[in-house]
Amino acid sequence: MGLFNVSMALIGALDTDVLENEKLARHTSYRIGGPAALLVTCHSYHALNRAIETVNAEGVPWVILGRGSNILVSDDGYRGVVIMLGREFTRTVVADDGCTLTVGAGTVLMRTVNDAYAKGLSGLEFAVGIPGTMGGAINMNAGTRDEWIGSVVKDVMTYRPGTGIRHYTQDDIVWGYRQCSLPAGEIVLEATLGLKPAPKQEISARMDRYLSRRRRAQPQAVASCGSVFRNPPEASAGALIEACGLKGFSVGGAEVSPVHANFIVNKGTATAADVLKVIRTVRGKVRETYGVELQTEVKFLGF
């Protein structure tokens, strides 16, 4: 009765949109995934708090989903509640100093990059072309090996179910490659970024360099989840996979990109099962050839 009770409690609730059996392929960059039992969009903090309290009271599994840019959803979908952050979480507030932005976790990262450029603020050029939301960017410490979002974060506000709102300064958080130390059970609500004024021409030139590099090195106009594997210490996952001769290797509609071997792309007909088979083949071949156990960066849901 849990899912039924959750549905009855949240359908029609203030600042809450509920979809039943919504295909998650429509909400992921992979364009892969079966239905979520419930897809709940919360447009305010109170709606989010109510939704979390409801699903927890009913013992129903739940997950937060941003733009779905780093996730592979099972072909069978997810027999739980997928929660997305709506209107209140997509706002950006500029402080009086003109250089400090407080950005909602549901805001698309590229929108923030473009907002910073429009205001003549530097510090986010490295993020141009990175998909996803601010919340996902914070959790994954999005960026490159040398520059990442954590370097410009001044404050992060989260919601801890059962406790409420928590605040963290930059120094409270340990930032690392593709990770940060925020507690796994907390939901990022907003982040405050400290940027610096710079001539727009300089900002634009840096953005163009990053974007050109990504366009040359990464597959474009094809569905993917970005990098599938974390780079091992002092090595490149893509280089190891390429050295194993796996560029272009495919199962069904899933293919190791001929452009960048650390991307597994959906050629249009891929299933989650296809992608999993490619992942397992790649990990096995790299392990066999180099003794390196590749760790996945992509998240899995519904498996």
The catalytic site residues sit at 178, 227, 297
β-sheet bridge partners, residue 155 = 169, 192
- Residue 92, exposed/middle/buried by CB under 10 A (0-12, 13-18, 19+)? middle
Q: Tokens 């603020």, residue?
A: 121
3-class state of residue 290 by DSSP:
helix
Sign of CA dihedral 141, 142, 148, 151: negative
Q: Tokens 């999993």, residue?
A: 276
3-class state of residue 32 by DSSP:
coil
Sign of CA dihedral 303, 183, 60, 28: negative
Contacts of 245 (CB under 8 A, 6+ apart): none
Q: What span, in angstroms and rounded, lies between the C-alpha atoms of 178 and 148?
A: 9
Residue 202's nearest CA partner among 128, 100, 111, 117 is 117
Dihedral, CA of residue 210, residue 213, residue 218 and residue 224, to nearest 10:
10
Asked if 16 and 50 count as a contact pair (C-beta separation under 8 A), the reply is: yes
Starting at the edge strand found earlier in the chain, the sheet holding 78-85 runs: 16-23, 35-42, 78-85, 62-64
Residue 33's nearest CA partner among 18, 21, 19 is 21
Write the single-letter amino acid at 270: A
Asked if 247 and 282 count as a contact pair (C-beta separation under 8 A), the reply is: no
